[in-house]
Amino acid sequence: MPLRDDYCRLCWVQARTEAAAAGDKPESFLPHLRHQQLFFYGLTALGDRRPKPSAAKHGRRGRPRRPDPAPAPPPPAVWCQLALFEARRDLTGRATDEDAHRGNPWLAWARHSAHRLGEARGWPRKTRLNIDQALVIVLTGHAEGDVVRYSEVFPVLRSRGLSIERTTEVLDHIGVFLDDRPSSFELWLESKLDGLATGIAHDVGDWARLLHDGGPRSRARHAATVWNYLNRIRPVLLEWSNRYDHLREVTRDDVLAHLETVQGSQRQTTIIALRSLFGRAKKNGTIFKNPTSRIRVGQREEGVIQPMEPGHINGSVAAVTHPADRLILALAAVHAARSAAIRRLRLDDLDIGNRRLSIDGRTRRLDELTLQVAREWLEFRRRRWPDTANPHLLINKHTALGTGPIGKSSVAGPALHRQTATLERLRMDRQLEEALVHGPDPLHLAEVFGLSEKTAIRYANSARALLQRDLESDPATSPRTHGSNP
């Protein structure tokens, strides 16, 4: 038996019990012990059996909850001396909570604003305490006229595991945040202009920024359009940079010589991008003549859209198991909804009682499949994020704390990775099926799915070709010739 100062464990327990009652040390009671109370292991234990007061004095275990921040108004606008130069602040070493009680009006206002934002958007208590700690670190010593930059708070908050996105949201709400991160588009554009002649790079950069940002007389294009245009013409721009210093030196023969090396959709995209580039340069006065004028783009011949195999569709259906993924799959396969339209859906767009669904302003009736998966998702959403204030139908753990839609990667998701029947293929197959069942009518397709004129005609032509092919192969038993009523 293990001993401590020639006494066993039971002796020490007995001595501590008697010493606690008498208010003395256990060592003074050890020589007087002559007997022990035996007990079965795990059934009882020696100790003070007197009733003890409950440890939960505040209705919960542990210490009481931290009280909510007191209401605080915005700090009054006062005169301040303008800074002669910008100096980066060192935010390290500000993790002590004593700094939060120094009476800084900016910190008090930020904590109160964070509390109100958290209540409005359903932030859990852990997130609110996380943001409160980050505000103490960032705003301690903040004065009128100071600006909190993203480059200053990012390394400090990230090293401590604090929320950067929610903290900067609060800082932006009170008007002291400056996002000094470089634009991803500018970084990409700088890499694409590398290697071009100085004069050519200047015109190409001005053209690309106009496409991306828009102007007084031109609308902003999608970022993918700018990437596609510049990536397509960059090889020929590098070739011209080896011979010329400016775009005004490029001739019509140079453009035609390059167009002979590409064909199909690549040729069409190349001539469209070059016409846009030279048109912008001529408008700015950096070239005298547009070398792409009177060069025809040509009509692109579209192939026949083919229906998908049932095995591919069944594979995608079996691959999705999450309630959100199942709803996304149903919206694409049944209602031909695009990924962007699915991301924009709000709770008000889904009317369970009247079995109605509005997608991009077009109301349609809910089928049984979509109704079932929608109910499953709403139940999962209610149990997982009961306090969220996000008005969008589809949310995740990142957007549940805010009000924005889910990202593009969340719509595609890893569930359909390496599946033949992607969301885009399922959407196209649904539109083709509508044309096959109800007849190749472009007006009907445009009305049901909101397609453009050219797109509706393309699906109608594909359906007409498929119906004609089936009729020629077996006119008596072709299932495509027997459509159901609308």
Residue 81 within any structural domain of the chain: no
Compute how many other C-beta atoms are within 10 angstroms of the C-beta atom of residue 405: 21
Tokens representing residue 345 in the block: 């859906």
Least confident of 36-45, 86-95, 147-156, 212-221: 36-45
Q: What is the pLDDT of residues 164-189, one digit of tens each?
A: 999 999 999 999 999 988 889 999 99
More confident residue, 349 or 62: 349
Specify whether 174 is located in the same domain as 189.
no
How many whole angstroms separate alpha carbon 8 and alpha carbon 30?
A: 10
Q: Are strands 362-365 and 350-351 parallel, antiparallel or unpaired?
A: unpaired
- 9, pLDDT greater than 60: yes
- 56, pLDDT greater than 90: no
How many whole angstroms separate alpha carbon 380 and alpha carbon 322?
A: 10
| Percent of the chain residues past pLDDT 70, beyond the cut | 84
Supply the pLDDT for residue 8.
82
- 79, pLDDT greater than 80: no
Q: Which whole number is the average pLDDT over 27-45?
A: 66
Find the domain containing 346 and state its range: 310-438
How many whole angstroms separate alpha carbon 395 and alpha carbon 130?
A: 22
Specify whether 352 is located in the same domain as 425.
yes
Mean residue pLDDT across the chain: 84
HSE, CB side, 13 Å, CA atoms: give it for residue 238.
Answer: 11
Tally of structural domains, the chain: 4
Q: What is the CATH number of the domain that holds 341?
A: 1.10.443.10
Can you give the length of the chain in residues?
A: 486
Whether the pTM exceeds 0.75: the reply is: no
Examine the fold and report which residue of 133, 155, 178 is the final residue of a domain before the chain moves on. 178
Closest CA to 481 of 445, 438, 444, 446: 438
Q: Which DSSP string do the residues of 281-311 spell out, in sequence order?
A: HHHHTS-SS-TTTT----PPPPPPPPPPPHH
- 482, pLDDT greater than 60: no
Q: Which whole number is the average pLDDT over 107-119?
A: 91
Specify whether 341 is located in the same domain as 412.
yes
Burial 153-184 (b: 16+ CB within 10 A, else e): beebbeeeebbeebbbbbbeebebbeeeeeee
Supply the pLDDT for residue 468.
87
Supply the pLDDT for residue 48.
46
- 102, pLDDT greater than 70: no
- pLDDT band at 59, cuts 50/70/90? low
Q: Which whole number is the average pLDDT over 58-71?
A: 69
Supply the pLDDT for residue 39.
59
Specify whether 241 is located in the same domain as 358.
no
Supply the pLDDT for residue 483.
37
Specify whether 277 is located in the same domain as 325.
no
Q: Which whole number is the average pLDDT over 179-200?
A: 92
Supply the pLDDT for residue 37.
62
Supply the pLDDT for residue 481.
37
- pLDDT band at 303, cuts 50/70/90? confident
Specify whether 242 is located in the same domain as 332.
no
Specify whether 431 is located in the same domain as 390.
yes
Examine the fold and report which residue of 159, 178, 197 is the final residue of a domain before the chain moves on. 178
- 257, pLDDT greater than 90: yes
Residue 120 within any structural domain of the chain: yes
Supply the pLDDT for residue 415.
78
Closest CA to 206 of 281, 116, 303: 281
Which residues touch 156 (CB under 8 Å, ≥6 apart)? 91, 92, 137, 138
